[in-house]
Amino acid sequence: MSAQLQPASNTEAPADIVPQSEKPLGPWRLTWNKFKRNPFAMSGLVVLFLFIVAAVAAPWLSPYDPARQDLLSANLRPFTGDHVLGTDELGRDIFSRIVYSGRISLTIGFAVAAVAVIIGSIIGAISGYFGGWADIIFMRIVDVMNSVPTLFLNILIGAIFGTNFLLMIMILSLTSWMGVARLVRGNFLQLREMQYVEAAKSIGVSSWGIIFRHLLRNASFPIIVNATLMVGGAILAESGLSYLGLGIQPPDTSWGMMLSNAQEFMLIDPMQAVYPGVCIFLVVLSVNFIGDGIRDAMDPRQKAQLSPRRLDQWRAKFSKSTK
Amino acid sequence: MGEYLIRRTLQSVVVLFLISVFTFGLIHAAPGGPTQIFLSPGLSVEAGQIKAEQLGLNDPLPQQYFRWLGNILTGDLGATFKNNIPVGDILWPTVKNSVILMSVTWILTLLIAIPWGVYNSTKEYGLSDQTASFISYVGFAMPTFWFGIILQSTISIKLDWLPLSDMYTIGKQGDIPDLLMHMVLPVSVLTLISLAGYQKYMRSSMLEVLQQDYIRTARAKGVKENKVVFRHAWRNALIPLITLIGLDLPMLVGGAALTEKVFNWPGMGSLFVDMAMAREYSVLMAITLLSAVFVVIGNLIADILYAAVDPRVQLGKGGK
């Protein structure tokens, strides 16, 4: 709209008398500017980026095939030969396994968050916008799914349908969309009463047009925050299931699977349990920091982040100087 | 209140009914149907058909469902496929073990989290508050079972202070001091994980109450700060926590599965995992249903307590 108005105002007032106003920053740019200033969120972003690079470059980074067994060089200490982190009881190179596990864990984390957000948004949008029977049915389904502990639900579905890589993504997303659905529904209940919705309706925009073009975009901030935090949850859930032997199956490998292996051989090499755990911890911590950072950056009420103590110091200084 | 109670209970019954349909449907949606999974692969086709006929697996689905539901309601949870042991005989002892573990954890968590949260709310951004928020970040990002494994390898194996796993040392069944020794590690894992959340919740609830007008009034008329916190603020800040406790009741049962597995604690969670490996569907269905009952009852109790504790809450009027 501003692009249409600007030429008209330019002809009336020359640019040197009234300085042309800068184009205001968009909401995404504003969010990024605030996000940049959050040290926790930025360090999370850096760490996560390193893990993603390692996962993408796994074939070049890892000196060995992660599934290659070599019983002659089993249980090597770290830094023997080119086994940076040593080998496990079957002589598999631990560093290579960590890198390849990262591929699987990260893919599952992001894929599950994406699929769950899509399912949850669609169901939440239908419930919130149309209401009525669709709402009642969907919300009862949410109630039912929420009533069974998620871990049990994951195990149950996994035990019935089996667990390979793609099934794991499907199972985990099928058991984690409920939060998003509730969130989107709640947002839609508010947003559908807005005047722009009424305006869109009056010029004949279809219901789906309103949902996708107007409402989902307006509800996107909380959805994004929720999706980010869900990545960490999915990685933790995957590692738990794989630890129990009900997740990723060999020859694939994941951090959770490595941990269950490490527990068996704890007496021989306790350090084996440390590496995969630290990886899970770092990735989930970074994702959570990023999620919190995005939430803080997107919250319009939080203009400046000052701790009350800093604020008090500042006030004290200010009142002294005015005296 | 009475009307609300009835409506809420009826709703819970409906949800429970739907859960039973869902669980039953899930098992029967398995590729090849339950016949395929239930029967051991070594069985011949004829023997398999006879067994399926005995178990009533060839009847129409609704008939099977209502027979199963009827059995459950009369307390008959079915039997395992492998050795035909009644499910109840396996399930109830593990439920007892889980409850022992979880109740100790829970009491400990609340005993630490509530005072700590109250303290942190009075000293915002102090050292203790920062520590708590650090613990909460770590607790949310760390896999529970990994923490358990690390504790095992340091405290049990390297230092040899506490037993590695299980509930009793062999031959010391029912010995209370022995049980307590075995409980230290799993309880500390579970407590540390849930501590952060409760502390944070208590703290923010306190901060909100401390902003209320009646707190300002109390301070204005010269009530001592200790008294303001403990007589006026603390009690009101507890109310939202009740909801959280009700909602968390089931999460603790399910969330403990991994910890139980790490420490080989013979509880409901580890039974579920073992039975999932053995494909004993009658046990899985029973545990799923039982945990769902926990959840629904937990929610119901939370709602009722919420109204009972806080007279300002008017259930069933306005709100949603």
Check whether A282 has a pLDDT greater than 70.
Answer: yes
Mean pLDDT, to the nearest integer, of B214-237?
84
Indicate the CATH number for domain A27-312. 1.10.3720.10
What is the per-residue pLDDT across B283-301, written as a single tens digit (0 to 9) for each?
888 888 888 888 888 888 8
pLDDT at position A111: 93
Of the candidates A248, A235, A117, which has an alpha carbon nearest to the alpha carbon of residue A176?
A: A117
Of B9, B284, B8, B293, the residue nearest A147 (C-alpha): B293
Q: What pLDDT score does A117 carry?
A: 93
pLDDT of residue B318: 44
Give chain A positions within 8 Å (CB) of B296. Answer: 147
Between A75-79, A228-232, B250-254, B308-312, the lowest mean confidence (pLDDT) is in B250-254
Answer whether residue A3 shows pLDDT above 50: no
- Per-residue pLDDT of B150-199, as tens digits, reads 888 888 777 777 777 777 776 667 777 777 878 888 888 888 888 888 88
Q: Does A281 touch chain B (CB under 8 A)?
A: yes
Q: Are A259 and B251 an interchain contact pair (Cβ–Cβ within 8 Å)?
A: no
Q: Give residue A283's pLDDT.
A: 92
Task: Indicate the range of A172-176, B79-83, B141-145 predicted with least confidence.
Answer: B79-83
- Name the residue with higher pLDDT: A245 or B313: A245
Q: Do A281 and B143 touch (CB under 8 A)?
A: yes
Residue A323's pLDDT band, with cuts at 50, 70 and 90, is very low
Whether residue B296 lies within 8 A of chain A, CB to CB, comes out as yes
A272: DSSP letter: G
State the average pLDDT over residues A137-148. Answer: 85
Q: Does A279 touch chain B (CB under 8 A)?
A: no
CB-CB neighbours of B6 under 10 Å: 10
**Cis amide linkage into residue B115, ω under 30° from 0:** no
pLDDT above 70 for B302: yes
Section B144-154 average pLDDT: 85
Chain A neighbors of B287, CB-CB under 8 A:
152
Q: How confident is the model at residue A16 (pLDDT cuts 50, 70, 90)?
A: low
A273: which DSSP letter?
A: G
Distance from CA of A143 to the nearest CA of B (A): 7
The minimum CA-CA distance between A308 and chain B, rounded to whole Å, is 8
Three-state SS letters, B35-80 = HHHHCCCCCCHHHHHHHHHHHCCCCCHHHHHHHHHHHHHCCCCCEC
Among B250, B259, B248, which residue's Cα sits nearest to residue B288?
Answer: B250
* Contact A84/B at CB under 8 A: no
What does the block give as tokens for B230?
A: 């403990």
Q: What is the pLDDT of residues B29-39, one digit of tens each?
A: 766 555 555 55
- Tell me the average pLDDT of chain A: 81
pLDDT score recorded for residue B47: 67
Query: How much is the average pLDDT of A287-295?
Result: 88
pLDDT at A46: 92
Structure confidence at residue A1 (pLDDT)? 43
More confident residue, B253 or A121: A121
Whether the CB of B252 is below 8 Å from some CB of chain A: the reply is no
Predicted local confidence at residue A113, as pLDDT: 93
Place of tokens 């400990």: B108
pLDDT category, B320, cuts 50, 70, 90? Answer: very low
Mean pLDDT, rounded, of chain B: 79
Can you tell me the distance from the alpha carbon of A252 to that of A274, in angstroms, rounded to the nearest whole number?
A: 20
Do residues B265 and B166 touch, judged by C-beta distance below 8 A?
yes
> Which residue has better confidence, B4 or B44?
B4
Which band of pLDDT confidence, cut at 50, 70 and 90, is reported for residue B319? Answer: very low
- In this structure, how many other beta carbons lie within 10 angstroms of the beta carbon of residue A271? 14
Is the pLDDT at B216 greater than 50, yes or no? yes
Per-residue pLDDT for B133 more than 60?
A: yes
* Contact between B153 and A266 using a beta-carbon 8 Å cutoff: yes
Q: Does B253 touch chain A (CB under 8 A)?
A: yes
Task: Return the percentage of chain B with pLDDT > 70, whole number.
Answer: 84
Asked if B144's CB is within 8 angstroms of A156's CB, the reply is: no
Instruction: Summarize pLDDT for A32-51 with one digit per residue, the tens.
Output: 888 888 888 889 999 999 99
Q: In the structure, what pLDDT confidence band is assigned to residue A284 with cuts at 50, 70 and 90?
A: very high
Nearest to B297 by CA among B21, B99, B12, B95: B12
Q: Are A276 and A101 in contact (CB under 8 A)?
A: yes
Q: Which of B26, B150, B158 sits opposite A157 (nearest CB)?
A: B26
Give start and end residues of each alpha helix (H) in B2-42.
Answer: 2-28, 33-38
CA A115 from centre of chain: 12
Residue A119: predicted pLDDT: 93
The whole-number average pLDDT for the span A123-146 is 87
Tell me: pLDDT of A116 over 90.
yes
The pTM of this model reads 0.82
Q: Most B CBs within 10 Å: which of A230, A244, A305, A312, as the mutation test of the B interface? A: A244
- A270 interfaces chain B, CB cutoff of 8 Å: yes
Looking at residue A123, what is its pLDDT? 92
Average pLDDT over residues B111-130: 85
Mean pLDDT of B257-280: 84
| Chain B residues in contact with A257 (beta carbon < 8 A) | none
The separation between CA A57 and the C-alpha centre of its own chain, rounded to angstroms, equals 21
A vs B: CB pairs below 8 A: 136
**Would you kindly state where each structural domain of chain A is located, as residue ranges?**
27-312
Give B169→chain A minimum CA distance, Å.
19
Determine the Cα–Cα distance for residues A80 and A232; give it in Å rounded to an integer: 34
Mean pLDDT of B204-227: 85
Read off the amino acid at residue A49.
Answer: F
Q: Using a pLDDT cut of 90, give the percent of chain B over it.
A: 1
Helix (H, G, I), strand (E, B) or coil at B313: coil
